[in-house]
Amino acid sequence: MIREIQDQILELKQKNDVAVLAHSYQSPEILEVADITGDSFALSVKAQELPQKNIVLCGVRFMADTIKLLSPEKRVVLPVAEATCPMAEQISPERVLKFKQENPEFKVVAYINTTTELKAVCDVCVTSSSALKIVRNMPEKNILFIPDYNLGSYIKKSLPEKNIVLWNGMCPVHAAVTVGDCKRAKAAYPNAKFLMHPELPQEILAYADVIGSTAAILDYAKNCVEDCVIGTEKSIADYLRITCPDRKFPLLSKRLMCPNMRLTNIMDVCKAVSGEGGEVIEIDEDLRLSAKFPIDEMIRLSK
Ligand code: 13P
Ligand code: SF4
């Protein structure tokens, strides 16, 4: 059944000139039919180079919005309109503008997990894989980092030369992991590598052997020889168990399941590729130009 839907998607992609982009958290059957898979940085940058006029983005809304910001001439579709990232709205654009007015010496750095309206009032965007490099490359010392307190804390600790002020947002999925989860995993898998996403709190990252984006975690796990405890969404552990069946990939915590990333199924992708399902992303042109600025800065500063 799944194989048949996948074949249909492959056919429709050709017929309708569609490229499918899938975030690393998507299910294996979606990843298998994607033209590009990866973390949020790879998806936003690589979409620009695609020849197809239509893009179906399997992930959450801010990812589809970012692609539309950079490629306005393309028809960008999010297969399930309800697939959003709760962290993206944890600070209002008005609050950012007020901060900027009161602190003109600060630059505002936004995690890419933000709404288009928020990006429009920020100076630079970062992703989990590019954040350290970008903030290090910024000439400014004073930075407000929004909205993720945990990723911000990780950057602040790694770059003590910067004066980084943090907002108190968070990913509810990664923030739910406890020190007890880490202790249990260490006791059960003493020789495994602990691979963790920087959206995890500092007290959890203290147990990490490797800290990286979703794609970096996948890469490391595929290329090492040890078992790996996976400190990010469960889909990554599930995928690794299929691709590397000779090793163990226990999940750091059973709480690591993102309901929003799990909303999209292979049938939704099929409908979106056929042109009948999903939401077509539309962004007002003035808003698009303002929100594109920090994304362009992200790409420039990550080189
Ligand atoms: P990446 O930038 O690592 O793909 O992370 C996106 C995300 O939402 C992780 O929870
Ligand atoms: Fe957002 Fe967290 Fe889900 Fe990533 S895992 S999409 S940050 S809620």
Do 197 and 66 sit in the same domain of this protein? no
Question: In the chain, how many domains are there?
Answer: 3
Check pocket membership of 130 for ligand 1, CB cut-off 6 A.
Answer: no
Q: Which ligand is located closest to the Cα atom of residue 217?
A: 1
Do 6 and 67 sit in the same domain of this protein? yes
Ligand 2 atom closest to 260 (CA): 3
Question: Pocket residues for ligand 2 (CB within 6 Å)?
Answer: 60, 85-87, 113, 171, 173-174, 199, 233, 258, 260-261
**Is 184 a residue whose pLDDT tops 90?**
yes
Whichever domain contains 292, its CATH number is 3.40.50.10800
User: Can you give the pTM of this predicted structure?
Assistant: 0.96
**Is 303 a residue whose pLDDT tops 90?**
no
How are beta strands 75-78 and 279-280 bridged, if at all?
antiparallel
Q: Which pLDDT band, with edges at 50, 70 and 90, does 129 fall under?
A: very high
Do 146 and 122 sit in the same domain of this protein? yes
Overall average pLDDT of the 28-32 stretch? 96
Q: Is pLDDT larger for residue 1 or for residue 116? A: 116
Q: Which pLDDT band, with edges at 50, 70 and 90, does 84 fall under?
A: very high
Q: What is the Å distance from ligand 1's center to 128 Cα?
A: 6
Do 166 and 99 sit in the same domain of this protein? yes
Do 235 and 266 sit in the same domain of this protein? no
Ligand 1 atom closest to 258 (CA): 10
Domain span at 20? 2-84+262-283
Check pocket membership of 113 for ligand 1, CB cut-off 6 A.
Answer: yes
Q: Which pLDDT score, from 0 to 100, does residue 260 have?
A: 98
Indicate if the alpha-carbon torsion angle 106, 109, 114, 120 is positive or negative. positive
Q: What is the Å distance from ligand 1's center to 195 Cα?
A: 14
- If we measure between CA atoms, which residue out of 264, 235, 270 comes closest to residue 28? 235
Distance CA 24, CA 221 (A): 13
Check pocket membership of 148 for ligand 1, CB cut-off 6 A.
Answer: no
Q: Which pLDDT score, from 0 to 100, does residue 27 have?
A: 96
- Average pLDDT over the chain, rounded to an integer: 97
Q: Which pLDDT score, from 0 to 100, does residue 44 have?
A: 87
Overall average pLDDT of the 107-121 stretch? 98
Do 154 and 296 sit in the same domain of this protein? yes
How does pLDDT run across 148-182, given as a tens digit for each residue? 999 999 999 999 999 999 999 999 999 999 999 99
Do 165 and 296 sit in the same domain of this protein? yes
Do 238 and 101 sit in the same domain of this protein? no
How does pLDDT run across 232-260, given as a tens digit for each residue? 999 999 999 999 999 999 999 999 999 99
Do 111 and 152 sit in the same domain of this protein? yes
Do 139 and 269 sit in the same domain of this protein? no
Ligand 2: which residue has its CA nearest to atom 5?
258
Q: Which ligand is located closest to the Cα atom of residue 258?
A: 2
Do 166 and 294 sit in the same domain of this protein? yes
How does pLDDT run across 286-302, given as a tens digit for each residue? 999 999 999 999 999 99
Strand residue runs (E) in the chain: 18-23, 36-38, 54-58, 75-78, 107-111, 124-126, 142-146, 163-166, 193-196, 210-211, 228-231, 279-280
How does pLDDT run across 87-98, given as a tens digit for each residue? 999 999 999 999
